[in-house]
Amino acid sequence: MFIFRLLAPLLLAVLAYWGLVRIQRKYALNQQQFRWLIVITAVLLVVLILIVMGRLPIQALAAPAIFILTFALRNAHWLLQLTSWLRGRRTSGPGGGRRSGRSSVNTDWLAMELAHSTGQMDGTVLKGMFQGQRLSALTLTELLELAQACQHDADSLQLLEAYLERVHPGWQENAGAAHGAREDSSAEGSMNETLALEILGLSPGATEDQIVAAHRRLMQKLHPDRGGSDYLAQRINAARDFLLSRIG
């Protein structure tokens, strides 16, 4: 019995340490949460050790434990409301309102944000030739170049397409598949002057030479033979053909 009482504190300490490590890994606790968990565990461990060593009668804990349990059961509704209120106070602190009204999603290429109140979407490019720039600061041509660059990252491409659909609603009208490399057999028919000018990065009144030069410059970057996609190449060709037909 003496040996058991001697080894019990050590055994309980080892089990407590093992349990803390498992909980921290499973629930990914932050430092503050983990410190509180250590304090609570230490208090419980001391109580258990005192009980095992016969220094603290169980009867001395029974009455307070029963009182606390009864109080918690009778006032569970109010306790839950208090917990919700405290969480609300914490999230509504400095910058809290802004975070609670905004969602964010990160991929390898993009850090996207969505404002709940307005539905406005924007994001920051994380790598590539447009690294550090906001999507709202890029032209449609640059956004298409970004789409070509991240076409092998399905998550990034999906987010970028969602942004394009909000900001440039007609950018993929009558396109084939909704993801990945696309084929747009009716690209020319769905083209309009505003969209064509945006794709080629031109201003209204562009001359034939300017249209041809812009088309050549983009195709050198986005042609399928140079690592681009068929969909982007078809949209660029459709934009050129539409503008040239208007001049002719």
pLDDT higher than 80, residue 146 = yes
pTM: 0.37
Check whether residue 158 and residue 234 sit in a common domain. no
- Please tell me whether residues 71 and 24 are part of one structural domain: yes
Grouping H, G, I as helix, E, B as strand and the rest as coil, residue 184 is coil
Whether 133 is in a domain gets the answer: yes
- Same domain for 114 and 156, yes or no, is yes
User: How does residue 65 score in pLDDT terms, banded at 50, 70 and 90?
Assistant: low
Amino acid at 100: S
Domain endpoint, select from 148, 169, 190: 169
CA atoms within 13 A on the CB side of 79: 9
What pLDDT digit, counting tens, does each position of 13-25 carry? Answer: 788 778 777 776 6
Which comes out higher in pLDDT, residue 139 or 80? 139
Q: Are residues 140 and 76 in the same domain?
A: no
pLDDT score of 195 more than 80: no
202 & 225 share domain: yes
Beta-bridge partners for 121: 114
Answer yes or no: is 53 within a domain. yes
Are residue 84 and residue 141 in the same domain, yes or no?
no
Among the three residues 91, 124, 142, which one is the final residue of a domain in this structure? 91
Provide the pLDDT confidence category of residue 94 given band limits of 50, 70 and 90: very low
Mean pLDDT of 153-160: 84
Question: How far is Cα 229 from Cα 237, in angstroms, rounded to an integer?
Answer: 12
Cα dihedral 167/173/179/184 (nearest 10): -140
Q: What one-character DSSP code corresponds to residue 87?
A: H
Identify whether 174 is part of a domain: no
Into how many domains does the chain fold?
A: 3
67/15 same-domain check: yes
Q: Which of these three, 91, 111, 145, is where a domain ends?
A: 91
The residue count for the chain: 248
List 112's β-bridge partners, or say none: 105, 123
| pLDDT tens digits along 201-246 | 888 888 999 999 888 887 877 666 665 556 667 778 888 998 898 8
> What span, in angstroms and rounded, lies between the C-alpha atoms of 25 and 48?
25
Tell me, what's the pLDDT at 125? 94
Predicted pLDDT of residue 226 = 62
Asked if residues 192 and 175 have their Cβ atoms less than 8 Å apart, the reply is no
Segment 139-162 shows an average pLDDT of 85
Question: Please, which pLDDT band fits residue 169 given cuts at 50, 70 and 90?
Answer: confident
Identify which of 190, 141, 135, 199 has the alpha carbon closest to the alpha carbon of residue 167.
135
Indicate whether 72 and 11 sit together in one domain.
Answer: yes
Does residue 81 sit in the same domain as residue 105?
no
58 pLDDT higher than 80: no
CA angle 109/111/228 to nearest 5° reads 30
Q: What share of the chain is helix, strand, coil (3-state, %, to 5)?
A: 65, 5, 30
pLDDT at position 95? 41
Asked if pLDDT for residue 126 goes beyond 80, the answer is: yes
- Expressed as residue numbers, the domain containing 160 is 100-169
Does residue 175 lie in a domain region?
Answer: no
CATH number at residue 188: 1.10.287.110
- CA dist 35 and 153 (Å) reads 39
